[in-house]
């Protein structure tokens, strides 16, 4: 069978998705990854480059991939001893398996000539990144709604749900980003936190330092960046509280680490429930994924749509693939769930968009 190699320009299609056990999977597909030799790679053999830089597969895989031409340099098959030079084009033709996400729909909240807003599901990244390409908000909207092009105006962390604003044109995107940079936008989130949150408005002004290697933010007055968040309790049942969060700045994990600082972390945020967060260097996975591997699926059933299918759709098994016959990548934690953190509203000088409250924001 002739292999059809996809590239980043190949659009997702609705037939690309398989729904099983409350998860949206992407049917594995053949894909050409293209990169160029970085200065630090120059002087290494092609096998050493891949074995050192891409540790998700064993060295033996890369040896075989070079020998059979699935790894090429400047569109040429090379020997395993080939030494690369700076700026050369390197192509890796592989059988791509994307991680699953929760099988939510992505409801369109508002569609205008220059603006589109949706309610982003938790667990789904906004745009292609890392292992995700089709299992993203943009990919799903293209595949299932035919909406394209889309320009993200802001971003939400993968495990966070809620309002997501897209511009339909590059000019509109630039206009809204300028408003963000000028501090003209107001953001509101809702969180379900541990314990009885204090009544009245609580303002946290504490510098946030983000450790990109570990994927964790901490309160660091000396080396952190200025961060301010205003919190107001909406309700409580004695065990948990629903809290309105208004971040004045926009640091990575700002709301999460500021809630931890108050003593009331997000109630299912295993990364910040502990004062000693899981170290991803030793876990060998992203910090959020390492943290949420301990979470249950108890609140998931009421949120997943009826799209789940137990059918056994066939997909191509590739004999050279290290992930086959699994749908998702080897080692991925399929028990992952979303955070109890939801973007409610964004407003600017002359506009405002909002999303509905999530199910978990109602306390019994």
Summarize the confidence of residues 234-241 as an average pLDDT: 96
* Weakest-pLDDT range from 157-166, 252-261, 298-307, 323-332: 298-307
**Which of the 8 DSSP states describes residue 132?**
B
Annotated catalytic residue, options 157, 194, 269, 288: 157
Is the pLDDT at 291 greater than 50, yes or no? no
- At residue 57, the pLDDT reads 87
Tokens of 330: 């080897």
Helix, strand, coil content of the chain in percent (nearest 5): 20, 30, 55
- Decide: 32 and 92 in contact? Cβ < 8 Å: yes
Residue 265's CB is within 10 A of a number of other CB atoms, namely 23
Asked whether the predicted pLDDT for residue 127 surpasses 80, the reply is: yes
pLDDT for 142-169, tens place per residue? 999 999 899 999 889 999 999 999 999 9
Please state which CATH number belongs to domain 14-96. 3.10.290.10
Is domain 106-184 annotated with CATH 3.30.2350.10? yes
Number of neighbours of residue 55 by Cβ within 10 angstroms: 10
Cα pseudo-dihedral 48, 50, 56, 59, rounded to 10? -40
Instruction: Answer with the residue of higher pLDDT: 255 or 320.
Output: 255
Residue 257 in this model has a pLDDT that exceeds 50: yes
Average pLDDT over every residue of 166-177: 93
Q: What is the mean pLDDT of residues 244-251?
A: 94
Q: Do 14-96 and 106-184 share a fold?
A: no
Q: What is the mean pLDDT of residues 339-354?
A: 95
The pTM is what?
0.85
As beta bridge partners, residue 95 has: 30
Catalytic annotation present for 74: no
Distance of CA 165 to the CA centre of its chain: 16
Write down the domain spans for the chain.
14-96, 106-184, 186-293+336-364
Helix, coil or strand: residue 104: coil
Percent share of the chain, pLDDT over 90: 71
Candidate CATH numbers 3.40.50.300, 3.30.2350.10, 3.40.50.410, 3.40.50.360; the one for domain 186-293+336-364: 3.30.2350.10
For the chain, the first-to-last Cα distance in angstroms comes to: 57
Cα(338)–Cα(151) distance, integer angstroms: 24
């Amino acid at each position: 069978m002739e292999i059809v190699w996809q590239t980043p320009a190949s659009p997702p299609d609705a037939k690309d998705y398989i729904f099983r056990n409350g998860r949206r999977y992407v049917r594995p597909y053949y894909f050409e990854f293209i990169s160029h030799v970085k200065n630090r790679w120059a002087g290494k053999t092609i096998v050493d480059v891949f074995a050192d830089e891409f540790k998700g597969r064993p060295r033996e895989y890369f040896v075989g991939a070079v020998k059979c031409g699935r790894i090429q340099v400047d569109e040429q098959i090379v020997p395993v001893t080939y030494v690369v030079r700076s700026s050369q084009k390197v192509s890796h033709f592989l059988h791509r398996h994307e991680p699953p996400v929760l099988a939510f729909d992505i409801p369109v909240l508002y569609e205008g000539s220059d603006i589109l807003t949706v309610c982003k599901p938790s667990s789904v990244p906004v745009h292609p990144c890392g292992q995700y390409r089709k299992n993203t908000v943009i990919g799903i909207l293209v595949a299932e709604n035919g909406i394209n092009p889309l320009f993200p105006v802001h971003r939400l962390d993968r495990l966070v749900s809620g309002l997501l604003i897209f511009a339909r044109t590059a000019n509109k995107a630039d206009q809204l980003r300028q408003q963000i940079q000028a501090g003209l936008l107001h953001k509101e989130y809702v969180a379900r936190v541990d314990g009885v949150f204090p009544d009245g408005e609580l303002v946290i002004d504490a510098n946030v330092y983000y450790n990109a290697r570990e994927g964790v933010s901490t309160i660091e007055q000396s080396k952190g960046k200025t961060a301010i968040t205003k919190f107001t309790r909406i309700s409580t049942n004695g065990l948990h509280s629903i809290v309105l969060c208004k971040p004045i700045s926009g640091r990575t994990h700002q709301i999460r680490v500021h809630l931890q600082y108050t003593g009331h972390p997000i109630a299912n945020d295993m990364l910040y429930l502990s004062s000693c967060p899981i170290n991803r260097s030793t876990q060998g996975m992203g910090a959020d994924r390492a943290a949420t591997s301990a979470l249950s699926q108890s609140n998931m059933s009421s949120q997943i749509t009826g799209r789940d299918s137990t059918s056994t759709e066939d997909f191509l098994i590739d004999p050279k693939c290290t992930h086959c016959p699994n749908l998702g990548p080897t080692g991925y934690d399929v028990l992952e769930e979303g955070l109890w953190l939801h973007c409610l509203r964004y407003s600017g000088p002359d506009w405002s968009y909002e999303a509905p409250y999530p199910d978990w924001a109602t306390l019994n």
